[in-house]
Amino acid sequence: MANFYCKWCGRKYSSVSSLTAGSCSANPDGKKHELYEGSEKSEYTCKFCGREYSSLTSLTMGTCPKSPTKKHQPAL
């Protein structure tokens, strides 16, 4: 079964419809979870600073000095 992740907070959902239905506190626009469109990986890289994390949750929790939102964001 496929897993779908929010690109802002890293939460995992079993369907895109349940993901996009929930509100996301980490989304800088302050609305809903948004789908991370990359594939599932063993390491996730921040597209702004290049740091690597073993999960999307740990990536999205960190502060990024190079990101316009001040948070790391996953590269696809």
Structure tokens at 3: 């897993």
The C-alpha atoms of residue 45 and residue 20 are separated, in whole angstroms, by: 23
Q: Which token pair is 7?
A: 């690109």
Residue 33 sits in the site that holds Zn ion (CB under 5 A): yes
Asked if 56 is part of the footprint of Zn ion (rule: CB under 5 A), the reply reads no
Residue of the chain from 16, 21, 35, 49 that contacts Zn ion (CB under 5 A): 49
Sole binder of Zn ion in the list 4, 5, 9, 13 (CB under 5 A): 9
Query: Minimum CB separation from Zn ion for residue 42, in Å?
Result: 18
- For residue 55, count other CB atoms closer than 10 A to its CB: 15
Rule CB under 5 A: is residue 71 a binding residue for Zn ion? no
Residues 60 and 8: beta-carbon distance below 8 Å: yes
| Closest separation in Å from C-beta 55 to Zn ion | 14
